Structure 1
Amino acid sequence: MTTTRDVKPGRSTNRVDSIPPLARLFPLGLQHVLAMYAGAVAVPLIVGGAFGFEGADLAFLISADLFVAGLATILQSVGFWRFGVRLPLMQGVTFAAVGPMVAIGQSYPITAVFGATIACGVFMLLIAPFFAQLLRFFPPIVTGTVILIIGLSLMGVASGWIVSGSDDGSASGASLAFAAGTLAFIIVVERFAPRGIARISVLLGLVVGTLVASFVPGMVDWSGVGDAAWVGFVTPFHFGVPTFEIVPIISMLIVGIVIMTETTGDMIAVGEIVDKPVTRRQLADGLRADGLGTILGGIFNTFPYTAFAQNVGLVSLTGVRSRFVATAAGVILVVLGLVPKVAAIVEGVPSAVLGGAGIALFGMVAASGIRTLTKVRFDNRSILVVAISVGVALLPTVSPNVYHQMPSWFQQIFDSGISAGAIVAIL
């Protein structure tokens, strides 16, 4: 049966190292960009707001973020020497650094954030080979549990998109309708459309959802498109030369460990999905790329970078394994960083529409974890590993303030359900 599947039209070209035709490459890459865009711009918006930035300065932070995310994605997917895992992974600014960076801003200028970011990147680059040795602690029971946790933890992101703009945390009828409609459209396309169309089901869902929402007053906001410039330049050290302060650096080094833990889980998850298990050398190369991307972040006035888990779900849902689709998405991100007007158009996609797509994407990640766990022969001990890991991982998801009485270093590690669950599963 395996041989029969391999000779089906298009199947033989759907490999990690294959390059799809340009007519398919662009929409597949754009689909990845749309899936991650909201998360990608959220961190500069939050951190810039905490520093009191607005107008041109805030727009520059967003452009720099998209530009470096594109460079980091290209590095991770294409690879250069010992940098890059060479799998379909998207890179973006990590949410794990938001709390520490906002805290740094209360006592230091933003140049201290960029200095600490550069130091964090150097630290990640140096310890990548040693951290990769942890791969032996990722048997199928740990791998499957971590992938399951990634999917479950991200459901909070999908929910946040659906209730975005609400004062009391509840979704309006219109938001629920657009989320449900987008999800239903994606399911119908996946189920009934030809395989070539089904591969861009999420992109089609986002486009159709946005077009329909444009007829509903207040659902789509493209007011910023007219004010956005056609061309923008991302210059190094735009806000000044980075300053290196010991306390911010120590804080960001802890973030670096969290980033590497999360990225390890994402790399293993993608490797399982595309049937190309990650080796220790690949893991080290991918972690080095994370470190180099973070160094570039500090240089170009942005923040630490990591693999984006939401795009892991897109790889699973579409079945497109080519790493060069991620490369195409990286090129699109670079363009968005250099052409603010195009970025403003993408920013107009309604959050509720993103939320509907997110349910499918993140659910597929969780389902991939369950598929990996089917390789495990379960007994009471192995069931306990999964049960405790998932339980600990979901605590900060269902109760975001659960660890707010704990020391800051503890919060930075365990406020991320993904890193907390991975640590517990390994132990």
Structure 2
Amino acid sequence: MSTSSAVKSRHPVDEIPRLDRLFPLGLQHVLAMYAGAVAVPLIVGGALGYSPQDIAFLISADLFVAGVATLIQSIGFWRFGVRLPLMQGVTFAAVGPMIAIGNQYDITAIFGATIACGLFMIALAPVFSSILRFFPPLVTGTVIMIIGLSLMGVAGGWITNNQDTAEPRDLAFAAGTLIFIILLERFAPPAVARVSVLLGLVVGTIVAIPFGLVDWSGVGAAGWFAVITPLHFGLPTFPIAAVISMLVVGLVIMTETTGDMVAVGEIVDRPVGKRQLADGLRADGLSTMLGGFFNTFPYTAFAQNVGLVSLTRVKSRWVTAMSGVILIALGLVPKVAAIVEGVPRSVLGGAGIALFGMVVASGVRTLARVHFTNTNILVVAISVGVALMPTVRPDIYAAFPDWFQLIFDSGISAGALTAILLNLLLNPAQRAVDDAEAVQDARRITKSLNRPEVVRDAEAAQAGRASAREGNGHREREVVTTESPEADPHR
């Protein structure tokens, strides 16, 4: 009896799916972030003129450490890890500074600055976690929405192959993948709908083979096993200028990760408190340190996987832990990584529209609880506008100093900082909100978008009957109180 009660009371975040579901759900997360995960070593290695073999090693090291970092963040140990379904990968915020460091010094200076950045993040985590009080629903909803809007550029880049326009064929494959995912969500059984994105990527790739869009030429040349040796390129060096520039990157990483952790905490109905936030930021710092030792770069939470959690409604952190194991395997087996790399970018772009759009929808859902005065509308409007500037005009800050570009070229960090500062300036009463109130606010987020249609319909009918009995004045209270974790066994 007690065992049964314990199982029933287990939070969906802590549930461990059966292996036949755990692996495909984990693989789905890997496929959603794979292109972004390997992009940074490709860009940095190419910019520094490294050989294909060295770039391949950078990619393997990146995937290996990304897997370890995901395990640390999802499972956690001691005071490291937020213990929520989050995927970790190399941040794009560090690309510009790392190329500048590599050109001025060499790649060992990049690794040394990365190690210093990780130490800095671990030391700063307890202080930085205090900013949770600056994330009321107005700010949180705006930041979540900005994350999704900013990532739409990634999906667009996949569809257009980073060109100005898309080929009709690429656009057709992106649209076909997106439509297939929608049809699965609408008509497939719940068990199949949960892996709709994975099936969309698989089917899209299979259909693309006769059209010559799938490039698996590198599979034969790739090895079956690669050893990720620490300090492969030599002992790290620590030039002061390189370290300082990377410390600024650390602040950007912590800002972005804070938004991602708060977002996923709300989506899975386990709001992030101050201590949890500090543990998650420490995990980012530890992963970044490991990156420096294992020939890779700073790590952060991947926002696109937050959208996947919302879209699939699978909240278990053990799913992302399985993703971490898969990433480690991909890092150790380059031949398998080459197969995954063959997924056409246009197919990834179609799936990305659904993933990143769900992040935007989550932000809108959070903002729906905000009382929109003219002041609050101004906070959202300006924050979104500032965040989208580098997306619609990538070179808008090209004439500014590097430190300014580092912060404001990232729409997520620029928008988050703008939302926080504007809220403090225009809503001075918000300064009195403490962590407990912020956490209690987060618990009241409406979760209807994450619930199966049958459950939503049943709850709506029940709420209607309750309203007829007790009057329209109590309708809102009844709708809220009818929600319970037991109502939906799949959450």
Report TM bin, short chain.
Answer: over 0.9
Q: Which residue of 1 aligns with 2:192?
A: 197
Q: Out of 361, 370, 378, which is 1:384 matched to?
A: 378
Q: Which residue of 1 aligns with 2:49?
A: 52
The code of the aligned residue for 1:418 comes to I
Secondary structure at the counterpart of residue 306 of structure 1: strand
Q: Is the aligned partner of 1:130 residue 2:127?
A: yes
Q: Is the aligned partner of 1:269 residue 2:263?
A: yes
TM-score (norm 2): 0.84
Distance 2:11 2:329 in 1: 26
Shift of 1:55: 2.0
Q: Is the aligned partner of 1:115 residue 2:112?
A: yes
CA deviations on 1:358-405 (whole Å, 9 max, x unpaired) are 000000000000000011111001111100100000000110001111
Q: Out of 402, 406, 409, which is 1:412 matched to?
A: 406
Inter-CA distance 200–361: structure 2 relative to 1 (3 Å threshold)? same
Displacement over 3 Å in runs of 4+: 10-14
Inter-CA distance 165–155: structure 2 relative to 1 (3 Å threshold)? closer
Shift of 1:13: 7.3
Q: Out of 416, 419, 422, which is 1:422 matched to?
A: 416
Shift of 1:11: 9.8
Q: Is the aligned partner of 1:314 residue 2:311?
A: no
Distance 1:176 1:77 in 2: 35
Distance 2:239 2:35 in 1: 31
1:204-219, aligned counterparts within 5 Å?
204-217=199-212, 219=213
TM-score (norm 1): 0.96
Shift of 1:215: 1.1
User: Which of the two has greater helix per residue?
Assistant: 2
Secondary structure at the counterpart of residue 92 of structure 1: strand
Q: Is the aligned partner of 1:104 residue 2:101?
A: yes
Q: Which residue of 2 aligns with 1:89?
A: 86
Q: Which residue of 1 aligns with 2:18?
A: 21
Distance 2:62 2:176 in 1: 31
Secondary structure at the counterpart of residue 106 of structure 1: helix
1:269-308, aligned counterparts within 5 Å?
269-308=263-302
Q: Is the aligned partner of 1:32 residue 2:29?
A: yes
CA deviations on 1:280-333 (whole Å, 9 max, x unpaired) are 000000000000000000000000000000000000000000001000000000
The code of the aligned residue for 1:146 comes to V
- Contact 1:267–1:278 (Cα < 8 Å) also in 2: yes
Distance 1:162 1:275 in 2: 33
- Contact 1:14–1:320 (Cα < 8 Å) also in 2: no
Secondary structure at the counterpart of residue 256 of structure 1: helix
Shift of 1:165: 6.1
Which blocks of at least 5 consecutive residues in structure 2 are unaligned? 1-6, 422-491
Secondary structure at the counterpart of residue 160 of structure 1: helix
Shift of 1:192: 0.7
CA deviations on 1:251-301 (whole Å, 9 max, x unpaired) are 000000000000000000101111111000000000000000000000000
Distance 2:11 2:168 in 1: 40
Shift of 1:56: 1.3
Distance 2:372 2:9 in 1: 35
Q: Which residue of 1 aligns with 2:322?
A: 328
Distance 2:287 2:271 in 1: 23
The code of the aligned residue for 1:43 comes to V
The code of the aligned residue for 2:287 comes to G
How much identity, in percent, do the aligned residues show?
A: 74
Q: Which residue of 1 aligns with 2:72?
A: 75
Q: Which residue of 1 aligns with 2:177?
A: 182
Give the alignment's Cα RMSD to 1 decimal. Answer: 1.1
Q: Out of 42, 57, 72, which is 2:39 matched to?
A: 42
Secondary structure at the counterpart of residue 211 of structure 2: coil
Q: Alignment length, in residue pairs?
A: 415
Shift of 1:76: 0.1
Distance 1:49 1:345 in 2: 21
Distance 1:59 1:126 in 2: 33
Taking CA–CA contacts closer than 8 Å with sequence separation of 6 or more, which of the two structures ends up with the larger relative contact order? 1
Shift of 1:106: 1.6
Inter-CA distance 14–207: structure 2 relative to 1 (3 Å threshold)? farther
Distance 2:367 2:360 in 1: 11
Secondary structure at the counterpart of residue 242 of structure 1: coil
Q: Out of 343, 352, 364, which is 1:358 matched to?
A: 352
Q: Which residue of 1 aligns with 2:159?
A: 162
The code of the aligned residue for 1:104 comes to I
